[in-house]
Chains A and B, each alone.
Chain A
């Protein structure tokens, strides 16, 4: 194998798992859109996995070298720097273009997406070398993307009519491509002239980051000689500076978009939707994921975390402070961004968000802030299980996807049990061969399918919380399998929590199905042995379950259920009002008085039951 081929394989291996993560996220988004969500919410071509995944993939080839501190080694090898550049660029282009192809296939052609991909591919290396970290490069790329989006909207506003709009759009695309070429050249030049000037920790954007907070803010967050807990919290707030920067970027973007809506001829609704996308992608997605993964990831990479663990303060408290500050940062960042956007765009902004998060005020607030908090926690968990910010950030969506899939699998197994539960049928017949009253059924159904079903999120969340607390102290192992090993128990618990609540429901369902079948079977058997023309309402025909079983063939199930029961048969007549609207009533009505004091009356294909605690099956079709 040639040296060049070996180097390309090494580059491909370094980017393979992140590529898989972005691809899975893109495919999941595709399925999500196919289920109709996109039509109701955002414009075509929108997917956070695409807009954030592409810059991550594009920044990784050089970002990885900074993260693993191998960049000086790379540059000291006897290989022409331009060769290094071209090999990395080829591998990165392959990864990015395959994701773009899936995006194109799933969501159709989009000029904006195409331009975004080309400019990102061409500029990512330059931004990575400037920022000296993947995260910094992603942020700079997003900033560049935001600028492009604003330029596009401005052009559409200025040149509203054809052919001027077409000419302007073409010019804009040409300008973007020219910009991409310039950035490509700058990236090559930057690498050719690159000097390793930093100390052993590198000089990346994240390490220099807290320095950007100057004056009052820095003074407020500067560590004091007392209050160790507050010092830890201050340190965390400062470490999360990219989250604050993204929030600021989001606010700037929203305000710029808000400025455009006052221009004549601009679609306010479309701008509001763009603002929703900007807030969702930057503050709702990127910032929340970074808030969770950043402080753990960076401290793990630099080794500061193991040093912090030797301080005389409990590891549990350190873990709690880290998690609390991360959730606070994601919550505060999102709250600020949503508040500013609402102030700029008014009620329509909340209405569009409401399409995704629920129109009820309380549900809306709960969803808008709970979902990002969960995302932050998921990222924090990934940060504890793995090593490095980007690794943790890329793990978030596959890990969440695995837990969601496990939950769906549990639900599917539960449904199977519900529909074809021979074991459950046996148990019902053996232990409770009678229907359950509404009083019993309602709380169980509510626990499984109603509002209380949220309760079943608690066990996997609790387990993940305990796990993250334990993993916080541990030295993370390199390798993909250890993260899967940690994820497996959470996925199993999620699956069980989805499956187990369906067992009582299956029990109820199968019990009800058996009673339904028995009542109708009894009614039909009665019709075979009783001459309905001779029935008299004043003197109803009385039978016992045993009499009926002797005279007509009954199933084993019906024979068991009819033990100690009496059957009363009356001619049709004096139908209750609710029954008069039903068709196909039989010429006789059969009432079964079961051993458990239930009275069930069949009117042909319809029946209802009167129980000691109320009505049941009113009117239930078998």
Chain B
């Protein structure tokens, strides 16, 4: 039995190169259980690569990745069974209908909650008879979110979840989902390049820039260290005016 104080995600000195390009450089972070952890950074900073390592889709070239204390590459099934994942572009099988997608997913997750799935479907206004390919981008994201959430995962992993959603729906959905999951004692890890969004919902933040982690910790502490500046202001200060990264 693993201790409840053990971090859900523990990454130590993770480095990754694609060809000659260093995409992640000695990244270390720890995601506490029950937290809403926001990973921010500009496009191409290495957020999605980091998430792929957490999912076990990429093997760590250097350093270690542990999710629930397990190596997601060597024990993918045990790890993935406890994760709900939503990618930036939910690449669901376009030819499936929403109800078939729900049946398809249910077979993979013993903890699938049919009533909860149905509740989410109604909440998101998804027509069960509609084919995925006929859904709008926003609806498709909602279908992906349904698939990721309905088995009540211990860790909800969202890669740019708000991409493609209009601002109001984006705010409502993000707040509802993330608060619900966090209140339930579950953990949310999500990446975004929209700093306001992260600031709005997360209690832990990591900032990644050109593959290097430049800020990491509880949001309150970070803001306190930066004299109450918003994340957006901190980001601007660090990367625009200072012309580089300053230590925190």
Which positions in A face B, CB cutoff 8 Å?
A: 198-201, 203, 207-211, 222-228, 230-231, 235, 238, 302-307, 309-315, 473
Contact B100 A223 (CB under 8 A): yes
Answer yes or no: B104 CB below 8 A from chain A CBs. yes
Top 6 closest pairs, chain A to chain B, by CB: A303-B91, A312-B81, A223-B104, A312-B80, A225-B106, A210-B95
Given A303-B91, A310-B83, A226 and B57 contact (CB-CB distance below 8 Å): no
Contact B92 A304 (CB under 8 A): yes
Beyond A198-B133, A199-B94, 14 additional contacts (C-beta under 8 Å) are A207-B94, A208-B95, A209-B95, A224-B103, A227-B107, A228-B107, A228-B108, A231-B104, A231-B108, A302-B94, A307-B87, A310-B80, A310-B85, A314-B77
A sample of 12 cross-chain residue pairs with beta-carbon separation below 8 angstroms, ordered by A number, consists of: A200-B140, A207-B95, A208-B133, A209-B95, A222-B103, A225-B112, A225-B114, A227-B107, A235-B93, A303-B91, A310-B85, A315-B76
- When distances are taken between beta carbons in the complex, the residues of chain A under 8 Å from B112 are 225
Answer yes or no: B96 CB below 8 A from chain A CBs. yes
Looking at the assembled complex, report how far the CB atom of A584 sits from the nearest CB atom of chain B, in whole angstroms: 72
Answer yes or no: B109 CB below 8 A from chain A CBs. yes
Nearest CB in chain A to that of B114: its residue: A225
Nearest CB in chain A to that of B57: its residue: A309
Contact A312 B104 (CB under 8 A): no
Answer yes or no: B63 CB below 8 A from chain A CBs. no
Answer yes or no: B200 CB below 8 A from chain A CBs. no
- When distances are taken between beta carbons in the complex, the residues of chain A under 8 Å from B77 are 312-314
Given A208-B95, A312-B77, A312-B80, A224 and B133 contact (CB-CB distance below 8 Å): no
In the complex, chain B residues 73-90 whose Cβ is within 8 Å of any chain A Cβ? 76-81, 83, 85, 87, 89-90
Interface string of B141-184 (1 = CB under 8 A from A): 00000000000000000000000000000000000000000000
Instruction: Determine the distance from Cα of A199 to Cα of B95 in the docked complex, in whole angstroms.
Output: 12
Instruction: Determine the distance from Cα of A306 to Cα of B216 in the docked complex, in whole angstroms.
Output: 28
Given A207-B95, A228-B108, A307-B91, A201 and B103 contact (CB-CB distance below 8 Å): no
Answer yes or no: B219 CB below 8 A from chain A CBs. no
Contact A314 B76 (CB under 8 A): yes
- When distances are taken between beta carbons in the complex, the residues of chain B under 8 Å from A224 are 103, 107
Q: Of B80, B81, B91, B103, which is in contact with the most chain A CB atoms at under 10 Å from its CB?
A: B91
- When distances are taken between beta carbons in the complex, the residues of chain B under 8 Å from A222 are 100, 103
Looking at the assembled complex, report how far the CB atom of B177 sits from the nearest CB atom of chain A, in whole angstroms: 18
Q: Of A224, A303, A310, which is in contact with the most chain B CB atoms at under 10 Å from its CB?
A: A310
Looking at the assembled complex, report how far the CB atom of B193 sits from the nearest CB atom of chain A, in whole angstroms: 20
Answer yes or no: B55 CB below 8 A from chain A CBs. yes
- When distances are taken between beta carbons in the complex, the residues of chain B under 8 Å from A305 are 91
Answer yes or no: B43 CB below 8 A from chain A CBs. no
Nearest CB in chain B to that of A309: its residue: B57
Which listed residue (A235, A303, A315) contacts B104, Cβ 8 A? A235
Instruction: Determine the distance from Cα of A567 to Cα of B230 in the docked complex, in whole angstroms.
Output: 105
- When distances are taken between beta carbons in the complex, the residues of chain B under 8 Å from A228 are 107-108
Looking at the assembled complex, report how far the CB atom of A369 sits from the nearest CB atom of chain B, in whole angstroms: 30
Nearest CB in chain A to that of B147: its residue: A307
Nearest CB in chain A to that of B78: its residue: A312
- When distances are taken between beta carbons in the complex, the residues of chain B under 8 Å from A238 are 95
Instruction: Determine the distance from Cα of A279 to Cα of B140 in the docked complex, in whole angstroms.
Output: 41
Which listed residue (A200, A211, A304) contacts B131, Cβ 8 A? A211
- When distances are taken between beta carbons in the complex, the residues of chain A under 8 Å from B89 are 200, 303
- When distances are taken between beta carbons in the complex, the residues of chain B under 8 Å from A227 are 107
- When distances are taken between beta carbons in the complex, the residues of chain A under 8 Å from B104 are 223, 231, 235
Contact B94 A226 (CB under 8 A): no
Given A207-B94, A209-B95, A304-B93, A312 and B133 contact (CB-CB distance below 8 Å): no
Contact B108 A199 (CB under 8 A): no
Given A199-B135, A201-B133, A315-B76, A223 and B57 contact (CB-CB distance below 8 Å): no
Instruction: Determine the distance from Cα of A230 to Cα of B108 in the docked complex, in whole angstroms.
Output: 11
Contact B94 A312 (CB under 8 A): no
Instruction: Determine the distance from Cα of A235 to Cα of B95 in the docked complex, in whole angstroms.
Output: 10
- When distances are taken between beta carbons in the complex, the residues of chain A under 8 Å from B81 are 312
Contact A231 B94 (CB under 8 A): no
Answer yes or no: B119 CB below 8 A from chain A CBs. no
- When distances are taken between beta carbons in the complex, the residues of chain B under 8 Å from A226 are 106-107
Contact A311 B108 (CB under 8 A): yes
- When distances are taken between beta carbons in the complex, the residues of chain A under 8 Å from B137 are 199-200
Answer yes or no: B136 CB below 8 A from chain A CBs. yes
Instruction: Determine the distance from Cα of A473 to Cα of B103 in the docked complex, in whole angstroms.
Output: 25
Instruction: Determine the distance from Cα of A442 to Cα of B46 in the docked complex, in whole angstroms.
Output: 61
Instruction: Determine the distance from Cα of A207 to Cα of B131 in the docked complex, in whole angstroms.
Output: 11
Instruction: Determine the distance from Cα of A167 to Cα of B207 in the docked complex, in whole angstroms.
Output: 79
Instruction: Determine the distance from Cα of A421 to Cα of B154 in the docked complex, in whole angstroms.
Output: 68
Contact B91 A313 (CB under 8 A): no
Looking at the assembled complex, report how far the CB atom of B13 sits from the nearest CB atom of chain A, in whole angstroms: 23
Contact A473 B57 (CB under 8 A): yes
Contact A307 B92 (CB under 8 A): yes
Looking at the assembled complex, report how far the CB atom of B33 sits from the nearest CB atom of chain A, in whole angstroms: 20
Contact A199 B80 (CB under 8 A): no
Contact B92 A223 (CB under 8 A): no
Instruction: Determine the distance from Cα of A536 to Cα of B28 in the docked complex, in whole angstroms.
Output: 98
Contact A306 B109 (CB under 8 A): no
